[in-house]
């Protein structure tokens, strides 16, 4: 049975956090809020503990985990000496939604955490509950997002329960997660910072510290096999999807998790790009046709255009004028479509600037690379 502790992020109940920390020390699995999404934690040094994470999530074993720390002193035992650029990134962005891939100190964490790589991904979260829990546990905490593999990441404790109740030992419920999308994962290559997964820290912010910024192929903006063909369904049939998958596998993303299909809602989702009126007209026509076929329809819209749709369910993901609101609401909206039993979903695209880059990266994945140019 999964124990749930309610904690108030602005008035920490040390007693409850100590109970959760005790579970972690004993090799248990505990979900906790971070400033990005909820994580599912276990002692990173213990293979049996870490295996419980993979079991609970149904996660492929070749997908390594991020190790969370509460204090820079914990880094000395995890990573081999690193250069000044890594240090500058930590100084500027920790605690915060940046994960840095560093050379692992041999034997510091279970080989299941690194999936056999000679690197370890580390982050210091900027959430008071996460920091207090990790500090109380006194160990590095391996924590992927606390969802069943393939489901949207959880941004509320109720999402964790929906996916993992009775599969994990405990949940620290500290309310809504912050950013709503996962951390940015980077690796450092001499003077180059390479983004392996776009996330909570934007490329624009990284440029303040990194003179040379690159993207791993799968993380680049606009990398969605988008062509200019008007109204063409770019990647539709399942053959093309598996083509895409094998293409992604062939180019071997540096962040192993990026090759997996993610966040897919149960309904068939398409992402629609283009000028606002054309997008609206296209989606309206599609909704109309689908409803005529008796399908339950959903539109994932920005506040600016939401009123133009008459689908069965129109969910406002946030405002185009403030994409942070959309990042915060995306995963809850995808889960809501599932709960509503929606069969066909059309999602509006957004500009790939700032947090919009990470948002589009997740939308493209949720849509299984089905992208339409209206």
DSSP structure class, residue 9: T
| Interaction residues for ligand TXA, span 87-106 (CB under 6 A) | 97, 99, 101
| Interaction residues for ligand TXA, span 113-132 (CB under 6 A) | 114, 117, 119-121, 123, 125
Q: Where are the beta strands (DSSP E) in the chain?
A: 3-6, 30-32, 39-43, 66-68, 98-103, 119-123, 141-142, 170-173, 184-189, 192-197, 212-215, 268-273, 297-302, 313-318, 344-348, 371-373
What is the rounded CA–CA span in Å between residue 70 and residue 10? 17
What is the rounded CA–CA span in Å between residue 326 and residue 356? 9
> Is the CB of 153 or the CB of 297 nearer to ligand TXA?
153
Going by C-alpha positions, the residue among 37, 295, 363 that lies closest to residue 184 is: 37
Q: Could you tell which of ligand TXA, Mg ion, none binds residue 197, using a CB distance below 5 to 8 A set by kind? A: ligand TXA
Per rule CB under 6 A, count of chain residues that contact ligand TXA: 31
Q: Which of 145, 155, 156, 270 binds Mg ion (CB under 5 A)?
A: 145
Q: Could you tell which of ligand TXA, Mg ion, none binds residue 114, using a CB distance below 5 to 8 A set by kind? A: ligand TXA
Q: Could you tell which of Mg ion, ligand TXA, none binds residue 267, using a CB distance below 5 to 8 A set by kind? A: none
Select the span of 17-25, 138-146, 162-170, 247-255 touching Mg ion (CB under 5 A). 138-146
The residue sitting closest to ligand TXA, measured at its beta carbon, is 257
| Interaction residues for ligand TXA, span 39-98 (CB under 6 A) | 39, 63-66, 97
Parallel, antiparallel or unpaired: strands 98-103 and 184-189: parallel
| Interaction residues for ligand TXA, span 243-272 (CB under 6 A) | 254-258
Q: Count how many Cα atoms sit within 13 Å of the Cα of residue 317 in the half-sphere of its side chain.
A: 29
Smallest distance from the beta carbon of 292 to ligand TXA, in angstroms? 39
Smallest distance from the beta carbon of 4 to ligand TXA, in angstroms? 18
What is the rounded CA–CA span in Å between residue 153 and residue 328? 11
The maximal CA–CA distance of the chain, rounded, in angstroms, is 63
Q: Which of 43, 182, 324, 352 binds ligand TXA (CB under 6 A)?
A: 182
The answer to whether 305 contacts ligand TXA (rule: CB under 6 A) is no
Q: Which of 108, 185, 188, 358 binds ligand TXA (CB under 6 A)?
A: 185
The answer to whether 149 contacts Mg ion (rule: CB under 5 A) is no
Q: Could you tell which of Mg ion, ligand TXA, none binds residue 168, using a CB distance below 5 to 8 A set by kind? A: none
Q: Count how many Cα atoms sit within 13 Å of the Cα of residue 326 in the half-sphere of its side chain.
A: 28
Going by C-alpha positions, the residue among 51, 27, 196, 71 that lies closest to residue 112 is: 51
Q: Could you tell which of ligand TXA, Mg ion, none binds residue 373, using a CB distance below 5 to 8 A set by kind? A: none
Sign of the Cα torsion 64, 65, 71, 77 reads: negative
Decide: 313 and 298 in contact? Cβ < 8 Å.
yes
Residue 346: strand pairing partners: 270, 299
What is the rounded CA–CA span in Å between residue 68 and residue 49? 15
For residue 110, the SS3 value is coil
The answer to whether 29 contacts Mg ion (rule: CB under 5 A) is no
Residue 215: strand pairing partners: 195
Decide: 59 and 142 in contact? Cβ < 8 Å.
no
Select the span of 25-33, 112-120, 144-152, 184-192 touching Mg ion (CB under 5 A). 144-152
Tracing tokens 């690379």 back to the chain, one arrives at 369
> Is the CB of 13 or the CB of 338 nearer to Mg ion?
338
Smallest distance from the beta carbon of 16 to ligand TXA, in angstroms? 20
* Interacting residues with Mg ion (CB under 5 A): 145
| Binding residues vs ligand TXA (CB under 6 A) | 34, 36-37, 39, 63-66, 97, 99, 101, 114, 117, 119-121, 123, 125, 143-145, 182-183, 185, 196-197, 254-258
């Amino acid at each position: 049975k999964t124990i749930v502790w309610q904690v108030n992020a602005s008035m920490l109940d040390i007693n409850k956090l100590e109970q959760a920390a005790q579970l972690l020390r004993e090799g248990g699995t505990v979900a906790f809020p971070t400033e990005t999404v909820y994580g599912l934690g276990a002692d990173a040094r213990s293979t049996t503990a870490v295996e419980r994470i993979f079991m609970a999530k149904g996660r492929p074993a070749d997908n390594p985990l991020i190790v969370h720390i509460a204090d820079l002193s914990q880094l000395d035992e995890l990573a081999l000496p690193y250069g000044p650029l890594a240090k500058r990134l930590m100084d500027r962005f920790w605690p915060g939604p940046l994960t840095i891939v560093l050379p692992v100190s041999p034997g510091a964490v279970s080989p299941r955490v690194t999936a056999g790589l000679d690197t370890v991904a580390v982050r210091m979260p900027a959430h008071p509950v996460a920091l207090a829990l990790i500090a109380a546990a006194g160990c590095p905490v391996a924590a992927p997002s606390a969802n069943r593999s393939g489901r949207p990441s959880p941004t509320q404790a109720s999402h964790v329960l929906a996916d993992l109740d009775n599969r994990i030992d405990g949940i620290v419920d500290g309310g809504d997660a912050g950013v709503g999308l996962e951390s940015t994962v980077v690796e450092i290559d001499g003077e180059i910072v390479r983004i392996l997964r776009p996330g909570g820290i934007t490329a624009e912010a990284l440029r303040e510290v990194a003179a040379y910024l690159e993207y791993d192929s799968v993380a680049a903006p606009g990398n969605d096999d988008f062509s200019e063909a008007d109204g063409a369904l770019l990647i539709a049939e399942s053959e093309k999807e598996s083509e895409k998958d094998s293409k992604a596998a062939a180019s071997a993303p540096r962040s192993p998790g990026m090759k997996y299909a993610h966040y897919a809602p149960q309904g068939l989702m398409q992402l629609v790009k283009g000028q606002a009126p054309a997008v609206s007209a296209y989606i309206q026509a599609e909704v109309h046709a689908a409803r005529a076929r008796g399908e339950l329809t959903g539109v994932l819209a920005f506040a600016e255009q939401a009123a133009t749709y008459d689908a069965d369910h129109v969910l406002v993901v946030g405002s185009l004028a403030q994409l942070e609101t959309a990042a915060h609401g995306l995963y809850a909206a995808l889960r809501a479509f599932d709960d509503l039993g929606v069969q066909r979903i059309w999602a509006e695209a957004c500009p790939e600037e700032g947090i919009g880059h990470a948002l589009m990266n997740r939308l493209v994945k949720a849509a299984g690379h089905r992208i339409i140019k209206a």
